[in-house]
Amino acid sequence: MRTSRTHQPLTYDVRLPDEAQADALRLLDASRSVVNGALAILWPYLDEFGSERAGPAWKQVGKFMGSPQYHGDRQWRCESEVVGRILRQQAERKKAFEVIQPILSDGFIRKSTEERPVGKNRPAIKEAITTLQKSLEEDETSFVALQNVSEQSCNYFFQHDRFPATYEELQPLPLLKVGLLTYAGDDGGAKGQAYRLALDLDAGVARFRFRYPDETGVWRWRKVDTLIPLPDCVKERPTRTEELMAPTLREERRADGARFAVLDFIIEVEKTDLPGWESVERVLGADWGVHSLLTATAVDEHSQQVGRPFFLNTGGFDGRQARTRRQIDELKKKVARYEEQRKALSSDDPKRAWFKQKLTVFRREIDRCWRKYEQRNRALAHLASNVLLLLCQVHGCSLLSMESLKTLKTTGRGSGVRGRWRNYRNNSTIRGEIWRLLRYKCHLLGLRFHTEQPRGTSHTCPQCGQPAKTYRSPSDRKEAVKWGRWMYCDTCHYNGDRDYCASVNIARLGVAYLTQMKHTGKARSCSISDPRVKPVTYTGAGAALLLPPTGSHARPIRSGKICYYPGWFGSAFLQSSQEKSVFLRLCG
C-alpha cells in the first residue's frame, strides 16, 4: 500500500451481495491455490524479501517466477502482490527472530503452579527485550515484533521442550487458510483488467465488477456490476472516485464452516497539516492507568496544569466482557462433551445427525459471542481515542503525549487469578487498538503525537519532581505498595491518585520534549528524573466540566481528591459540539 506524508488510507469492509458470493468465492479459491503454490516455491528465498523492499511486491516476486497456473497477467500480478507482501512481512519477522534468538532462555518459561499451568514469564521477556532494545533504534513497532516472536518461540518451547534454532523451524510455511486477493497489482478501478470499481454517490453505492472462473473453470468478466451500498461514513464524506484505492477481496469463515466474501475498500483521505512546534502551547499527557483504563491531564508549556484530570474507568465494561468470555467457555465445554459422545456412537447411528445439528448451533453461538466481544473492544477503543482527541481540542492542546505501549499493568480487577489474567490480556489488546487509532486520527486532525517511556512516572512527585511512594489508600500509609493507588511525596507532602500523578508526569515529559523542539529543533525523550523535566503547579484555574455527565445524577460524587462524573462508568457515549464532519471522521 502506498504511504504518503499528505494522505492516509481508511478501510471499510462490506459483505458482497448474495448474487455475487458464489463467483467471488470461486475467484478466492482459485487465487488462494496460486498464492499458496507460489509461497511454497519462494519460501527458501525468504531472505531476499528482507533485503530489498523498493517498489511493489509483485515485481519482486516476478523476478523469481511466473504464474504457476496462468489465468491472466493482471490476475497474477494481484496474486503475486499478496505473495510478496506475505514474504516481506515474514522476512521482517525473521530479522526480529534473529535479534531475540541469542537471548531466548529458560527464564522466559514460567513453571506450572497450583494456580496456573506452565506459561510464559512475561515480565522476564519484557525486561530482556527492553534491555536488548536499548542497543537498537528506538522503535515502537519493533518492540511489538520482538515480543510477538518471543512469545511464538515460547509456544514452540511448550511443544518441543527446546527453543527453535532457526526461524524456519519456528514458523511453518505461512499458507493462506482463507482466500485473500488485493487488487493493488492491477491498473486501477477505471482501467483494471481484473476488476473495476467506481462510486455512484447519488445512488449511495459503489459499482464493483470482477473477473472470475465459472463452474467449468473458464475465466470471464461478470456481466453486471455488483452494487455495494456505501457505509454511512463514506456517504457523509464527499468522496471522489480518485480517492478510491485498490480494494482487497477476502474470505471470512465462521466456526460452523459457513463462508462469504468481503470487499475491503480503501479510501485515501488528506491529512491535516501538523502545527509548527512554535505554535504548540499545551500538552495533553495520557497514562494507561492501573485502576482506570486511561487518565489524561493537560499541562501548558509553563508547566501549569490546565483543567481537571480525566479518568476513563471501564469497570462495567470489563465485567460484561468477562461474562461473555465465561459464556464462551461454557459453550466450548458443551461442544467438547457432545463431540466425545458422538465419537462413541457407531457410524450409522441415527443420533449422529442430532449431535451434528446441536454442534452447529453451539459453534454458531460461540462465533456470535466472539463477534460481540470484539465489537465491544473496538467500540471502546474508538470511544477512548475520541475522548482524548476531544480533550485535546477542549484544552487547546496540539501535542498528545502518550505513555508508551511497553508497559502492561495488571489492573487487579476481575474474579480469581484466571479472570484477572484475561482482563489484563484484553486490556492490552484494547490499548494497542487505541494507540493505533490515535496515531492515525491525530494525523487526520493535525495533532502532534509523541510517546514517552513510562519508567518512574507513577513513582515521581509531579509537584517537586522527587521520587515518591504509593500506598493502598490515602488513609493507609503504614506500608508502601508498588501498585498502591495513592501517591504520597515525603519531600513536599503532595499526594494524589497514582494514575493522575502518572498522567501529569507524562505531560511533563511532553512539555520537556516540546521545549527542546522549540529551542533547538531537535529532541530526545527525557527520563522523568532529568532536570529538563519541570515540576507542575496546579491552581485550579480554567477548571471546567469537560464533558457533560450522561447519567441521571447531575452532581459529581467526591471521593478524596477525585471527582467522579456519574454515567461514565458502565456505558459511555460521547457528546460534542464539533462540526458533524469532524465528528464523523473521528468516529471513523
Query: Which residues contribute to the site for Zn ion (CB under 5 A)?
Result: 461, 463-464, 489, 491-492, 494
Of 423 and 463, CB closest to Zn ion: 463
Cβ 309 to Zn ion shortest distance, Å: 17
Cβ 511 to Zn ion shortest distance, Å: 17
Cell numbers given for 211: 473477473
Q: Residues 6 or more apart from 438 whose CB is under 8 A from it? A: 385, 388, 389, 400, 402, 449
Cβ 495 to Zn ion shortest distance, Å: 9
Q: Residues 6 or more apart from 47 whose CB is under 8 A from it? A: 91, 94
CA distance 92 to 260: 31
Cβ 442 to Zn ion shortest distance, Å: 32
Cβ 440 to Zn ion shortest distance, Å: 37
Q: Where are the beta strands (DSSP E) in 62-177?
A: 109-110, 119-120
CA distance 250 to 237: 25
Cβ 404 to Zn ion shortest distance, Å: 24
Of 210 and 494, CB closest to Zn ion: 494
For residue 126, count CB atoms less than 10 angstroms from its CB and return exposed for 0-12, middle for 13-18, buried for 19 or more.
Answer: middle
Cβ 462 to Zn ion shortest distance, Å: 8
Of 345 and 492, CB closest to Zn ion: 492
Of 466 and 516, CB closest to Zn ion: 466
Cβ 539 to Zn ion shortest distance, Å: 17
Half-sphere exposure of residue 456: CA atoms within 13 angstroms, side-chain side: 15
Cβ 494 to Zn ion shortest distance, Å: 4
Of 371 and 493, CB closest to Zn ion: 493
Of 359 and 464, CB closest to Zn ion: 464
Of 20 and 536, CB closest to Zn ion: 536
CA distance 37 to 55: 23
The 3-state DSSP class for residue 122 equals helix
CA distance 162 to 263: 42
Q: Closest Cα to residue 451, out of 469, 439, 465?
A: 439
For residue 535, count CB atoms less than 10 angstroms from its CB and return exposed for 0-12, middle for 13-18, buried for 19 or more.
Answer: middle
Of 453 and 463, CB closest to Zn ion: 463
Of 155 and 491, CB closest to Zn ion: 491
Of 297 and 451, CB closest to Zn ion: 297
Cβ 464 to Zn ion shortest distance, Å: 3
**How many helices (H) and strands (E) are present in the chain, helices listed first?**
13, 20
Residue 7: strand pairing partners: 270
Residue type, 189: G
Cβ 534 to Zn ion shortest distance, Å: 13
Angle of helix 122-134 versus helix 140-160 axis, rounded to 10? 130
Cβ 499 to Zn ion shortest distance, Å: 17
Note the maximum CA span of the chain.
82
Reported for 356-361, long-range contacts at CB under 8 A and 24+ positions apart, including other chains, are 359/335, 360/256
Asked whether 174 and 90 are in contact (CB, 8 A), the reply is yes
Of 80 and 505, CB closest to Zn ion: 505
CA distance 569 to 313: 6
Q: Residues 6 or more apart from 255 whose CB is under 8 A from it? A: 363, 364, 366, 367
Of 185 and 496, CB closest to Zn ion: 496
Of 107 and 467, CB closest to Zn ion: 467
For residue 234, count CB atoms less than 10 angstroms from its CB and return exposed for 0-12, middle for 13-18, buried for 19 or more.
Answer: buried
Cβ 283 to Zn ion shortest distance, Å: 20
Residue 198: strand pairing partners: 207
Q: Strands 195-200 and 562-564, how do they pair?
A: unpaired
